Amino acid sequence: MSRKWERMVSKNTKKANKTRSKQGIAPISTDPDRPVVFKGRSILLAAFFIVVSLFLLFTLTKTEGDKMYWYTTLSYLVVGVLIYFVRRPYLRVTKTNLSKRGLARELVLGAENIKEIVHVPGQITIELTGKSPRWVYNKTMNRFDIVAMASKLKKFAENNKISFVDKTV
Q: Could you read off the pLDDT of 54-112 as tens digits, one per residue? A: 998 888 766 666 788 889 899 999 999 999 999 899 999 998 899 998 888 899 999 99
Q: What does the pLDDT read at residue 149?
A: 94
Residue ranges per structural domain of the chain: 43-85, 91-166
pLDDT value of position 123: 93
Q: What is the pLDDT of residues 45-66, one digit of tens each?
A: 999 999 999 998 888 766 666 7
Q: 0.85 cut: is pTM over it?
A: no
Residue 30 banded pLDDT, cuts 50, 70, 90: low
Is domain 91-166 given the CATH code 3.40.109.10 in the classification?
Answer: no
pLDDT tens digits along 126-154? 999 988 889 999 998 888 999 999 999 99
Q: What average pLDDT does range 113-125 have in this prediction? A: 93
7 pLDDT above the threshold of 70 = yes
* Cβ neighbourhood burial of 18 (10 Å; 0-12, 13-18, 19+): exposed
